[in-house]
Amino acid sequence: MVLSGVFPPLTTPFASDGSVSLADLKHNIQQYNRTDLAGYVVLGSTGESVLLTKAEMEGIFGTAKEAAAREKKLIAGTGAESTAETIALTKRAAELGYDAALVKTPHYYKPAYKPDVLIAHYRRVADASPIPLLLYSVPQFTGIALEPPEIAALAEHPNIIGIKDSSGSVQRVAETIATVPDAFQVLVGSASTVYPCLTIGARGAIL
């Protein structure tokens, strides 16, 4: 699957009582459908997935799929702390018809997440996933950055097709692009680095 262009991470609308407003989510997506956006990321960091219940996440995934125009690619944020939960969420996104999954690094037990552990986690998810995976490195939230050697190792997996790099480091993105195959798609998640990263080979942006 080819990913290029801009994919906004959708916000999750809330009603005044704190409940998720699926009607407002549907309205927002219908407005976005009128633009040239390449697609949408559902339940990424901007969607506040870490603050939602499983039932709320299920409703958001379903509503977004129903509301999105057919030509828009849909990427589901499915990263969780456990490998098993990440696999379960990814499989559910696939059942609903999502095109790819965006999987952030687990991070709660930071000292344990050495490169080999992270690589094993992503490979297990990729092996079990019916849809392609995008790695998600967002160190400002997780405290863990995927380094170019780890990314290069994971890029060898046929079901891992790219990465969203939100580190804000043009140098890190450049090093990643230099170490991965041409088919591996690097998307940028930091607004201040989009233009310079596009000039060195990034395919698009999630922001």
Residue-wise burial string across 90-105, b where 16 or more C-beta atoms lie within 10 A, e elsewhere: bbbbbebebbbbbbbb
Compute, in degrees rounded to 10, the torsion defined by CA atoms 195, 177, 182, 127: -110
Calpha distance 166→129 (Å, rounded) = 23
- The answer for residues whose C-beta is within 8 angstroms of residue 130's C-beta and 6 or more apart is 90, 91, 94
Q: How far is CA 148 from CA 7, 16, 180, in A?
A: 23, 43, 8
Q: Is 164 annotated as catalytic?
A: yes
Q: How far is CA 19 from CA 24, 25, 52, 54, 122, in A?
A: 12, 12, 10, 13, 32
H or E segment to which residue 55 belongs: helix 54-67
193, 170 Cβ separation under 8 angstroms:
yes
Selected catalytic residue, list 72, 73, 104, 164? 164
Calpha distance 178→159 (Å, rounded) = 20
Catalytic positions = 164
